[in-house]
Structure 1
Amino acid sequence: MSKVMQKPSLLASHAEVAYNAIEEMIVTLELAPGESLTEQALCARLEMGRTPVREALLRLKHDYLLAVLPRQGILIKPIDTTTALEALDVRHHVEGLLIERATRLASESQRAEFLNMASQAEHSLAIRDNILFSRIDKRFNERVCEAANHDVAARAIMPLHAVSRRIGFFLAQVANYEPATTVQPHIEIMQSIAVNDGERALAALSKLHHLTRQQTLAIERDGLLHQ
């Protein structure tokens, strides 16, 4: 009986590993925007079975990152500034709630982790490691949702962060935009949550949203996707 009971959690664990791996490959452009590949090829690349990969793909379909085409395979969605701007619209209304709650409700251990993440983000900026910062940013978003303890808002916001993180990675890695522009507000938010400074956290969030919107608009304005 115990073995039967363990199977769903084991499957969920493998699916989570697959999800995180594929999401990072898309966000960091290892899987290029517009690229097509088969489920079999993806399984081989991850060295994983079809079931967890398929579960991961079903989640990623709802994260605006890929499409699964019947009998045609998997399409990595091109970078779409319209979707990115719409994601920012939703983030503008929901993310402040999560940041405010996280700042107010975080435990001491969570505050310590936010402070540690701020140091790690500063290190990623110093060594100009965009992949490292993307990983820190993803963990930061997850920890904010955990500390905020608001499941509905978390479910709404998490898929949208991947859209913005891919934009940010593209700008820093491919378009050579200065990463400090948006990394620094992230650091300020992390530090503010750590010391329970809600006013500073929300001010930094407002700055981050403004900068992210301006950079997203610049992608179309400057023709960056066609260079």
Structure 2
Amino acid sequence: MASPSRPRPQLVAANAPAEEAPRRRSQVNLSDQAYERIEELLICCELRPGRFLATHDLQALVGFGRTPVHQAVSRLAADTLLIVTPRHGIQIAPIDLTRERVLLRLRRDIERFVIRLATERSGASQRNQMLHIRRQLIEHGAEMTIEQFNLIDRRIDQLFLAAANEPFVESTLRPLHTIFRRIGWIYHMQTAHSVKLQRTVDGHIAVIDAVAKGQVDTAIAASDDLMDFVESMFDVLEREVAPALLDCSLDSFDDPFLRLPASAK
């Protein structure tokens, strides 16, 4: 007698991974959006350097759920822009001008590498996009706010990295761009030099022009000139910006110098 047939084991539907893929892509996209939103708040110091806050506070501030914000925070902590501590939550990393002067040397060298590759490898479509941005800067740069300029600056950086076609450097260069956009924002918004963006705009026009025309040496020289300008910001920041703007936890300290009578100062 033939043995009764056993039920076959149920196989996982072949299309299950495909059904899960959009959900995973959605999570990744939300994580990127949360990262970019927090990055924007860091650059304009709405998230003040030195500030402590809980994850749920950050969620409410940026309007994203727990998982995208947690993933974004992990990335920003790896970028050294946030500090995560078990009992104190999240701290916006204070600005250390001495450290950031050193990081500018690193950025200068990586920018040279990226600019060389972008000049040598950029395709026609990428060069057309560069020239379009160049025209925007020439026509509207004088009236731009720092926030408007930063949006264009991010697009320029993305174009150069895409043209260079070397993904290895992006994870290093992106947080450096964020660090120095914040330096630029403070320089233009919190010092006596806050009126004019023209020097920054002209520097970017020179780099774009040389890259789009395939002039490697000129492009690298223009990039170096732009880094020289960024370096010049540090003397101004050290002289004019109150330490509490670089680390808001210093607000709680009473400066004994401020208590001296005018005749003793």
TM-score, normalised to structure 1, is 0.92
2:118 alignment partner, one of 74, 86, 102: 102
Superposed counterparts of 1:139-150, under 5 Å: 139-150=155-166
- The residue number in structure 1 matching 2:249 is none
- The residue number in structure 2 matching 1:194 is 212
Separation (CA, whole Å) in 1 of partners of 2:41 and 2:139: 22
1:55 alignment partner, one of 71, 82, 85: 71
Separation (CA, whole Å) in 2 of partners of 1:153 and 1:64: 16
1:113 alignment partner, one of 129, 136, 153: 129
Contact 1:124 1:133 in 2 (8 A): no
- The residue number in structure 1 matching 2:29 is 13
| 1:37 shift after superposition | 1.8
| 1:124 shift after superposition | 5.5
1:27 aligns with 2:43: yes
- Higher mean displacement: 22-31 or 70-79: 70-79
Q: Which runs of 5+ in 1 are unaligned?
A: none
| 1:223 shift after superposition | 4.0
| 1:26 shift after superposition | 0.4
| Percent of aligned positions that are identical | 31
SS of residue in 2 equivalent to 1:74: strand
Separation (CA, whole Å) in 2 of partners of 1:4 and 1:146: 29
| 1:51 shift after superposition | 0.2
Contact 2:207 2:222 in 1 (8 A): yes
1:89 aligns with 2:89: no
- Higher mean displacement: 164-173 or 199-208: 199-208
Q: Which runs of 5+ in 2 are unaligned?
A: 1-15, 246-265
The residue type equivalent to 2:52 in the other structure is S
1:214 alignment partner, one of 196, 207, 232: 232
| 1:4 shift after superposition | 1.2
Separation (CA, whole Å) in 2 of partners of 1:159 and 1:124: 27
Contact 1:18 1:56 in 2 (8 A): yes
Over 4 Å off, 4+ runs: none
Over the aligned positions, Cα root-mean-square deviation in angstroms equals 1.7
Contact 1:114 1:194 in 2 (8 A): yes
Q: Please say which structure displays the higher CA radius of gyration.
A: 2
Contact 1:124 1:132 in 2 (8 A): no
1:156 alignment partner, one of 169, 172, 181: 172
Separation (CA, whole Å) in 1 of partners of 2:56 and 2:140: 34
Total equivalences in the alignment: 226
More helix by proportion, 1 or 2? Answer: 1
Contact 1:96 1:205 in 2 (8 A): yes
